[in-house]
Amino acid sequence: MELQVSDNGAESWEEVMLIYNAALKQISTKLEILNDEFQHVHKYNPIEHIKYRVKTPKSIVKKLKRHGYESTLENMVKYCNDIAGIRLICDYTSDIYSIADMISNQSDIKIVAIKDYIAHPKDSGYMSYHMIVLIPVYLSDRIVDTKVEIQIRTIAMDFWASLEHKIQYKFPGEVPEHIQAALLQNAKMVSELDARMMELNNEIQKLAGEEGEPEQ
């Protein structure tokens, strides 16, 4: 990769990676605090666990070439929105939108783009809630607004997506039709399961609330 100056002022690959890793640390800490606050207020954690990663140089170069861009630091920062990625796994679909709202309400986070693949799944059946955000990274001599991709999904959605990823890796050309059909059918089952589990949880919470009410 050519070492040309990027939009965020970084002059080397190492400095760019330092900035993206710092962005992940900052947003991870912020999300953990929000999760702790939610537990304090509502006695419930909407985030089951957090996964995060920075794309490898090979993946970044491959993506740039696929979209017809030269492999420069400037193009990497400008055109790759998912170099820094964080995935939030939760129990219920309602948690996804609660978490998205909490993130959107942070004054120092700017929302760049949102793709709701839950309301509008991909043709393959893929479901997830994607946000591209800018988070400030405070360096010694400047503040760098850095893009981070956030994916929010339920445990069932994440299980499905993990299997799809493995299938795409096994069949880099074209996935056999019967496997595509099975994936789509399973995606519908995941959606139904998530809806039923959320309904059951709501009923449990309702009954627990009624039992906890003082007698008149």
Burial (CB count within 10 angstroms: exposed 0-12, middle 13-18, buried 19+), residue 90? buried
Spatial distance between the Cα atoms of 128 and 206, rounded to a whole number of angstroms? 27
Helix axis angle, 177-211 to 155-170, nearest 10°: 170
* Candidate list 149, 199, 213, 215, residue with the active-site label: 149
CA–CA gap between residue 153 and residue 159 (Å, rounded): 10
Q: Is residue 203 annotated as part of the catalytic site, yes or no?
A: no
- The rounded distance, in Å, linking the Cα atoms of 153 and 91 is 8
By DSSP bridging, strand 49-54 and strand 84-90 are antiparallel
Of 167, 122, 127, 184, the closest CA to residue 151 belongs to 127
* Active site residues per annotation: 149
